[in-house]
Amino acid sequence: GCKAVFLTATTNDNVPGCHISQDLAHTVIKALEKTKSEGSQAPPMPRLVLLSSATIDPWISRKNPWVNAIVRRSAWHV
């Protein structure tokens, strides 16, 4: 069985109507449901690993330095 699913999607712009993350989530859920329905017993669920490059750019948080601290703390375990 599958032990891990790596979720990787990216965009460089904040575009209204962009739903890459929603499409990714729907696709993963459908794949997991299909895997579950194909077997006679429920397979162990794989670990979902979200690869993120959350911006830790000092320029972006130059007016609000606490933003950088929040982003760093929110992803400390990644």
What pLDDT score was predicted for residue 78?
A: 46
Range of the domain at 46: 4-74
pLDDT digits (tens, 9 = 90+) for 18-60: 888 889 889 999 988 888 887 767 778 889 888 766 556 677 6
Cα–Cα distance between 71 and 78 in angstroms, integer? 12
Q: What is the helix (H) or strand (E) element at residue 19, kind and residue range? A: none
- Report whether pLDDT(64) > 50: yes
Q: What is the CA radius of gyration of the chain?
A: 17
What pLDDT score was predicted for residue 27?
A: 92
How many domains does the chain contain in total?
1
What pLDDT score was predicted for residue 66?
A: 78
Lowest mean pLDDT of 1-15, 21-35, 40-54, 61-75, name the range: 61-75
